């Protein structure tokens, strides 16, 4: 009996402390809430300490454990980024030589992007080189080789896995070095505080992307959460769980994923509904994560920035990108779009970025013939720019906009789908710039015109999602074919009945999203104003209801893959 007890205890401890790739630590698992309860208990013992680094150190250790349980030994990559940018930031701030400062900030950007490229784009580059030059190169995980030789591990040396959230914390550390260089923030006092800033677990793996200028100062402030903020934090957590599990996971498992896995076996109407369903799913999934992250962070006294603002209420594509994934949009604007010239002019960086994007397109296509074609286009543009300053500014600013969106697409992954998705959004932004100058409805603001603008924008954004969601261009072609040629109106009532619960949940999701903001505020304020015991009862009811709706294994958040 003692032996069996020992085995059970060992198994329990293993489940608690050892990473399991089949059950990563995510917000929707009960394990996370047990983990968070223990973190809060420990936090209650240290939050009043005068030495704020004790508090930061405690949360730094908790965050590293969270990342280990989410992504295994990839937390060493997180530590590498932390160490690199901490000392680079110090070097930038302490250096009196402007050239040295520039070298250090470039070093930070290059090192971070190389790490990101190694894990995220190795297969893309190797496959492209094999196609272009007819070679037979293979991906080799040099980090796995080093770990196996030095630590006696047994990692697969022929496979490179993507660390969860690497794109998010990479952008976060880059922005830190750049902000220190620009003088917009001072370097963090010590390595522990900086490590906490980089790894803070609520927003670590899927954002929002946090700027040092807005977060670091909170490390040194007294813990303070008002009753209103406490109520708001609980409200955000419950709202996030409803979005993710009840709406997003339900429609994904029971409809959207099925259609996207084999679109040719479904009717055009089912494909179209799956496309609109995915637009809802990706929103509630990602914004649901952000809602939970904001609520969890606030309970510990830290305020994260807003990341979504009812994006499907946008009246044009530009408005949409001011409302969707706001931390990434503002990051791309401040660290890419404006530095390459913004809406003012082009720059050397513009043309370097253009060269990078065109090179990636050549690699994706696997056709060298595109090189002289692209070179010819660039020469024609250069001639036009040379003889017409007006055309020059228009070309430069629109190239900057397109480059930003194309590179934003590549941030999500190196594939034709993401290139096209980013390109379509860039075209939408450029088109709107010209359209608003001639549109007879631009200055009008009555309800009918606003509904028309919102509908057109939402349909366009939904159309671009077909490229974002599809795993291959074959899936894209299959969906478009079915929607265009197999749209049997007679089958619509049958489909509506067959998937009635899915469509009712979708209807509920869109209704809540498009609900008037004043009504949303009333609901939120009512919840915040209720007594504590009422909040507890509501929370219990919501949790039971939400988790009863689960019909399959816990689904990872969509943006974990980026």
Give helix 212-219 / helix 166-182 axis angle, nearest 10°.
90
CB of 327 closer than 8 Å to CB of 305 = yes
How far apart are the C-alpha atoms of 149 and 169, rounded to whole Å? 28
Structure tokens at 142: 């040099």
Give the N- to C-terminal CA distance of the chain in Å, as an integer: 47
Nearest to 121 by CA among 364, 403, 370, 405: 364
Residue appearing with tokens 């009717």: 267
Cβ neighbours of residue 41 under 8 Å, at least 6 residues apart? Answer: none
Backbone φ and ψ for 461, nearest 5 degrees, come out as: -60, -40
Distance of CA 112 to the CA centre of its chain: 17
Give the C-alpha separation, 437 to 15, whole Å: 60
Whether the Cβ atoms of residue 146 and residue 188 lie closer than 8 Å to each other? no
Question: How big, in percent rounded to 5, are the helix, strand and coil portions of the chain?
Answer: 75, 0, 25
CB of 457 closer than 8 Å to CB of 321? no
- DSSP 3-state assignment of 16? helix
Q: Exactly one of 142, 154, 325, 412 is catalytic; name it.
A: 412
Catalytic site residue 412?
yes
Element (DSSP H or E) covering residue 431: helix 416-438
Any idea which residues carry the catalytic annotation? 412
């Amino acid at each position: 009996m003692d032996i069996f007890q020992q085995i059970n205890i060992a198994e329990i401890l293993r489940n608690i402390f050892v990473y399991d790739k089949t059950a990563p630590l995510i917000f929707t698992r009960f394990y996370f809430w047990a983990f968070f309860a223990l973190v809060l208990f420990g936090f209650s013992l240290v939050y009043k300490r005068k030495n704020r680094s004790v508090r930061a150190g405690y949360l730094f250790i908790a965050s590293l454990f969270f990342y280990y349980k989410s992504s295994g030994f990839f937390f060493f990559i997180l530590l590498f980024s932390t160490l690199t940018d901490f000392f680079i930031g110090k070097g930038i701030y302490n250096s009196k030589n402007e050239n040295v400062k520039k070298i250090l900030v470039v070093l930070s950007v290059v090192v971070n992007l190389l790490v990101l490229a190694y894990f995220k784009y190795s297969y893309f580059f190797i496959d492209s080189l094999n196609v272009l030059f007819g070679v037979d190169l293979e991906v080799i995980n040099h980090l796995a080789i080093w770990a196996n030789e030095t630590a006696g591990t047994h990692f697969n040396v022929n496979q490179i896995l993507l660390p969860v959230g690497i794109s998010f914390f990479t952008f976060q550390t880059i922005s830190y070095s750049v902000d220190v260089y620009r003088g917009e923030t001072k370097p963090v006092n010590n390595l522990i505080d900086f490590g906490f800033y980089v790894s803070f677990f609520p927003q670590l793996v899927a954002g929002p992307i946090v700027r040092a200028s807005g977060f670091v100062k909170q490390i040194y402030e007294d813990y303070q959460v008002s009753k209103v903020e406490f109520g708001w934090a609980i409200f955000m957590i419950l709202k996030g769980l409803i979005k993710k599990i009840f709406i997003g996971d339900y429609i994904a498992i029971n409809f959207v994923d099925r259609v996207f896995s084999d679109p040719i076996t479904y009717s055009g109407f089912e494909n179209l509904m799956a496309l609109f369903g995915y637009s809802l799913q990706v929103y509630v999934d990602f914004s649901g994560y952000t809602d939970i992250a904001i609520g969890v962070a606030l309970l510990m006294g830290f305020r994260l920035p807003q990341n979504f603002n009812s994006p499907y209420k946008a009246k044009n594509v530009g408005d949409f990108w001011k409302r969707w994934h706001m931390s990434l949009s503002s990051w791309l604007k401040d660290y890419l779009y404006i530095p390459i010239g913004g809406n003012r002019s082009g720059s050397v960086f513009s043309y370097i970025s253009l060269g990078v994007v065109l090179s990636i397109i050549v690699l994706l296509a696997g056709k060298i013939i595109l090189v002289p074609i692209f070179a010819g286009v660039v020469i024609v543009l250069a001639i036009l720019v040379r003889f017409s300053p007006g055309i020059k500014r228009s070309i430069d600013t629109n190239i900057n906009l397109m480059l930003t969106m194309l590179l934003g697409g590549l941030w999500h992954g190196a594939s034709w789908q993401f290139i096209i998705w980013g390109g379509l959004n860039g075209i939408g932004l450029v088109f709107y710039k010209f359209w608003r100058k001639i549109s007879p409805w631009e200055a009008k603001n009555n309800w009918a015109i606003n509904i028309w603008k919102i509908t057109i924008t939402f349909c366009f954004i939904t159309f671009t999602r077909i490229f974002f969601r599809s795993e291959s261009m074959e899936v894209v072609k299959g969906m478009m074919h079915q929607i265009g040629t197999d749209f049997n109106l007679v089958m619509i009532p049958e489909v509506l009945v067959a998937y009635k619960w899915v469509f009712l949940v979708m209807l509920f999701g869109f209704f809540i999203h498009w609900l008037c903001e004043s009504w949303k505020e009333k609901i939120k304020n009512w919840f915040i104003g209720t007594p504590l015991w009422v909040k507890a009862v509501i929370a219990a009811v919501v949790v039971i209801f939400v988790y009863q709706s689960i019909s399959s294994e816990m689904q990872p958040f969509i943006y974990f893959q980026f």
